[in-house]
Chains A and B, each alone.
Chain A
Amino acid sequence: MEPVVQFDHVTKNYGSQVAVDDLNLSIEAGKFVTLLGPSGCGKSTSLRMLGGFEMPTSGRILLSGKDVTRVPPNKRNVNIVFQDYALFPHMNVAKNIAFGLELKGLDNKSIHRRVSELLELVQLQDYANRLPNELSGGQRQRVALMRALAPDPDVLLLDEPLSALDAKLRQQMQIELKAIQEKTGKTFMFVTHDQEEALTMSDTIVVMNNGRIEQMGDPSTLYGRPGSVFVANFIGETNLLRSTVLGAEGNLTALDWNGITIKADQGGLSPKAGEHLYVVLRPESIHCSATEPTSGNRIKGKIRQRVFKGNHTSLAVEVGDGAVLNTLVHPGDVAQLAGDDIWVGWKPETATVIPDRHAHR
């Protein structure tokens, strides 16, 4: 199937600064795709280029197979949900949503039908005559979403739309956004710097850094098998163990970490003995116990810090000389870890190795 959006060698410079660097990206129709990265990584610029508000310095952007690189925003079949919603303050909710429909030249009856249909989708039927400043943050968010969906765009672009909401509402809206995406079957292109948002909603996450794609994949792949130190650090909490390869053992690799021999999944690499690699070990993969585990990687350590987090307690465990592993313990298991001397262990296949880019320089 033809991708609905294609970035074809797109580069955007601001003076000597490169915002987007030779971006190649295809997005399949009907998917929830998230561009994830720190501020200044080029994700918002990419979105604005697709919306028509920025012109690429070079390269082409295709929308449903047509080259739209030089097409002005009002002639492209994409709509944006802006970060601060940009609702028209002098128009009520219904008028805001109808704006794009009127400009499409629809007759009043169809406009009315479409508006009430959309209001129903987000349960705002009773708010049609309210002005934007008479709505709560979450309601404004929904109106902005419906206004952008109303003209039936090929792709809906969302520019960090949840960042203005408080934590609780943000989680609610994540679920609602995903539900609306599934219900409407629209292609959503979502931009965020919040890895949790990306993991919750996306079919595909595109991690960007310095104007380039760092890694692209579905959430569980990115979380479980990060392709680089940057991705491992950016998505979720992680322990990065810089280790030296000792040799392969089947699918596993034996490594030396601070004088301790550990095993980890090869993660698609074929490590050679003596090579420096990072082992990615998620806190929740580590099991803590008072007695020595019988199998897998195991190290004796001392608890240096306990932080109560409600549904879990996170521990900083010192192992060997100065090295610290961050891990977490569920409430039921805290009691047996009264003393500071504990064992930490993990199954070798839950840890994976990633290349150490700096070693090659």
Chain B
Amino acid sequence: MRSLFSDAPRVTLTAIYWAFIFYLLLPLTLMMAMSFKDANFVAFPIGEWTLDWYAKVLQDKQFLEACLYSIMIAAATTLAATVLGVWIAMLIVAEGIKGQVIIFALACLPAVVPGMISAISLRIFISTIDMPTGTAAIILGHTVHAVPFVVVMALTRLRSMPGNLVDAARDLGADSFVAFLRVTLPYLGPALFGGMIFCVLLSIDDFVRTFFLGGYRPTLPMLIFAKVQGGMSPEINAMATLVLVVTAAVGLYAEYLTRRARTR
């Protein structure tokens, strides 16, 4: 016989699930709501609604410069991490190379080392080799962090690749390099694209490493951090909302593209 109690586990689970969703979305919703508030203070109640804060953000030279700087760093990071990641993944699946497990473990390590530890050690490292803080150091730090994600994504795809595709290319006259360029790389395509988008998002989002390795020029998270130090204002909410919407759109679009490529 069904009773209230036999339904209890299911009801509880459902309740916990919705409570979690609520808890997840509430801060974001609040942040977005405040960005439309026509007053200087971030607090309820919201009397008048306005888009002025957005207009202000979009005219803010500091903000636009920080955006551009972040995007540039993300692009350089993505390029470096993709080349390195694919190379390491190829090493791991290649025949006749010893210590592949160790290569894999080392390649994945930066993804699990706490950001703080990673940032401090990178800072110590660049000062040991007399590298100045700034753009190059930031790119270095972000790349180290992004490589594991490219490796894992490329590896998954490589392992699903029919072994004789490369053999077929070789058989038809391609040397190893041409076979890699014309067969392996296009096969990796969807996975690489996903991995690259991930690199971009990781880099744009990164605060700790940038903070330790950066110079005077602020990236986007650093700029927002600096502004928050100066006191909350709906302008910061508008800024964060913009970043949130753009990154979410990019992430979803990438997911959509890789899904489509995978089902093809």
Q: Which residue among B169, B170, B172 has the maximum number of chain A CB atoms within 10 Å of its CB? A: B172
When distances are taken between beta carbons in the complex, the residues of chain A under 8 Å from B167 are 53, 73, 80, 82, 86
Contact B173 A151 (CB under 8 A): yes
* B104 interface contact, C-beta 8 A: no
Partner pick for A147 among B172, B174, B175, B264, CB 8 A cutoff: B172
Contact B189 A73 (CB under 8 A): no
When distances are taken between beta carbons in the complex, the residues of chain B under 8 Å from A89 are 165, 187
Contact A100 B173 (CB under 8 A): yes
Partner pick for B189 among A83, A90, A100, CB 8 A cutoff: A90
CA distance A72 to B179 in the complex (A): 13
When distances are taken between beta carbons in the complex, the residues of chain A under 8 Å from B169 are 88, 99
Q: Which residue among B168, B175, B182 has the maximum number of chain A CB atoms within 10 Å of its CB? A: B168
Scan residues 37-87 of chain A and give those whose CB is less than 8 A from a CB of chain B.
51-53, 72-74, 78-80, 82-84, 86-87
Given A88-B183, A90-B186, A90-B189, A80 contacting B171 (CB threshold 8 A): yes
Given A74-B174, A74-B175, A86 contacting B189 (CB threshold 8 A): no
Contact B171 A133 (CB under 8 A): no
Q: Which residue among A52, A84, A90, A151 has the maximum number of chain B CB atoms within 10 Å of its CB? A: A90
When distances are taken between beta carbons in the complex, the residues of chain A under 8 Å from B171 are 51-53, 73-74, 78-80, 148
Given A73-B167, A84-B162, A86-B162, A151 contacting B172 (CB threshold 8 A): yes
When distances are taken between beta carbons in the complex, the residues of chain A under 8 Å from B173 are 74, 100, 103-104, 151
When distances are taken between beta carbons in the complex, the residues of chain B under 8 Å from A87 are 168
How distant is B167 from chain A, measured CB to nearest CB, in Å?
Answer: 6
Partner pick for B187 among A53, A74, A84, A90, CB 8 A cutoff: A90
Contact A133 B264 (CB under 8 A): yes
How distant is B163 from chain A, measured CB to nearest CB, in Å?
Answer: 9
When distances are taken between beta carbons in the complex, the residues of chain A under 8 Å from B264 are 131, 133
Identity of the chain A residue whose Cβ is nearest the Cβ of B167 in the assembled complex: A53
Partner pick for A86 among B168, B174, B186, CB 8 A cutoff: B168
Q: Mark B104-123, 1 if CB is under 8 A from A, else 0.
A: 00000000000000000000
How distant is B248 from chain A, measured CB to nearest CB, in Å?
Answer: 29
Q: Which residue among A52, A72, A80, A131 has the maximum number of chain B CB atoms within 10 Å of its CB? A: A80
Q: Which residue among B165, B169, B171, B189 has the maximum number of chain A CB atoms within 10 Å of its CB? A: B171
Scan residues 115-163 of chain A and give those whose CB is less than 8 A from a CB of chain B.
131, 133, 147-148, 151
When distances are taken between beta carbons in the complex, the residues of chain B under 8 Å from A88 are 165, 168-169, 182-183, 186
Total A residues in contact with B, Cβ cutoff 8 Å? 26
How distant is B162 from chain A, measured CB to nearest CB, in Å?
Answer: 6
When distances are taken between beta carbons in the complex, the residues of chain B under 8 Å from A82 are 164, 167-168
Given A89-B187, A90-B187, A74 contacting B164 (CB threshold 8 A): no
CA distance A82 to B163 in the complex (A): 11
Q: Which residue among B165, B173, B264 has the maximum number of chain A CB atoms within 10 Å of its CB? A: B173
When distances are taken between beta carbons in the complex, the residues of chain B under 8 Å from A78 are 171
How distant is B160 from chain A, measured CB to nearest CB, in Å?
Answer: 11
How distant is B60 from chain A, measured CB to nearest CB, in Å?
Answer: 44
CA distance A89 to B190 in the complex (A): 13
Given A53-B167, A90-B186, A103-B178, A79 contacting B162 (CB threshold 8 A): no
Contact B168 A72 (CB under 8 A): no
Scan residues 128-181 of chain B and give those whose CB is less than 8 A from a CB of chain A.
162, 164-165, 167-175, 178
When distances are taken between beta carbons in the complex, the residues of chain A under 8 Å from B186 are 88, 90
When distances are taken between beta carbons in the complex, the residues of chain A under 8 Å from B162 are 84, 86
Identity of the chain B residue whose Cβ is nearest the Cβ of A82 in the assembled complex: B164
When distances are taken between beta carbons in the complex, the residues of chain A under 8 Å from B182 are 88, 99
Contact B164 A103 (CB under 8 A): no
How distant is B48 from chain A, measured CB to nearest CB, in Å?
Answer: 55
Contact A72 B172 (CB under 8 A): no
Q: Mark A93-104, 1 if CB is under 8 A from B, else 0.
A: 000000110011
Task: Contacts A86-B162, A89-B165, A99-B169 known; list 15 others, CB within 8 Å.
Answer: A52-B170, A72-B170, A73-B171, A74-B172, A74-B173, A74-B175, A80-B168, A82-B168, A84-B162, A87-B168, A90-B189, A99-B174, A100-B173, A103-B172, A131-B264
22 example contacts (A-B, Cβ-Cβ < 8 A) are as follows A51-B171, A52-B171, A53-B167, A74-B171, A78-B171, A79-B171, A80-B167, A82-B167, A84-B164, A86-B162, A86-B167, A87-B168, A88-B182, A89-B165, A90-B189, A99-B174, A100-B172, A103-B172, A103-B173, A147-B172, A148-B172, A151-B173
The 4 closest A-B pairs by CB, nearest first: A100-B172, A103-B173, A86-B168, A86-B164
